[in-house]
Amino acid sequence: VRVGEDPVASEPIVLVLYGIGGSRNDHYVKHMAHACRASGWRPVVLTYWRLDWNEWRDLDAAVRRISEKHPLAPLFAVAHSASAYILVQYLAAKGDATPIVAAVSIGGCMDFLRTFEFVKHTKNITYRRVFERGIRRCVRRHHAHDPFIPKDQRHAHAHKLTKIKHGANIIYDRHIAALPRATFVPPPAPEDCEDRDPAFTPVRRKLSIKHRVATVFSAKAGARTS
């Protein structure tokens, strides 16, 4: 918002979502915000999305809040890397019911397993370490704020997961499998979204590691991928 001026009610709003392990302070997020503001658009950043890529209701809550508070402003969304999958999940579930008028995916990660393998085999050690540091940061954030994880267990639980040395794919798989409640079901049809119970669906996972990875990450198997 311009200093000393009230925003115009019809000024477009851009909701920005950052990539894995990122924050609103990342350089590319700030660059996007400055570019939007220079063009007369109001940037908004979602902080933070939970580490459960089948879960889009955090984004839905943010979109509804913005739309209710600024009903005359066209709403756009721009998602980077991993958050692009969350945005695509949300759009697929909401369909025409979303107030977002246009959305952009920048370097969208639509298959986390393939992305991990690509990074593992084509990027240098520094890039791989940054990638894994990002997933560990997301794990710690999630455990710090997930109301279904007892407070006295959050630190120890996150610490155990972030010590895994087998790669970002295994860290994410163990993280999801260990959550007391997680979304492991397809999003509802758009016509059912308004009546959806806001409480998380309790899921008990009894699948093998190999099966879980294949189910969560395999696009060829028809699953929703991260």
Looking from the CA of 16 toward its CB, the CA atoms found within 13 Å total 22
Q: Residue 80: what residue type? A: H
Q: Residue 143: pLDDT band by 50, 70, 90 thresholds?
A: confident
Which residue would you say has higher pLDDT here, 137 or 224? 137
What's the chain's average pLDDT? 76
CA distances from 16 to 31, 48, 114 (A): 11, 11, 25
**What pLDDT does 12 receive?**
95
3-state SS, one letter per residue, for 150-190: CHHHHHHHHHHHHCCCCCHHHHHHHHHHHCCECCCCCCCCH
Chain segment 152-194, per-residue pLDDT in tens: 888 888 888 888 877 888 888 888 887 776 654 444 454 544 4
Rounded-to-integer distance, Cα 112 and Cα 114, Å: 6
Answer whether 0.75 is exceeded by the pTM: no
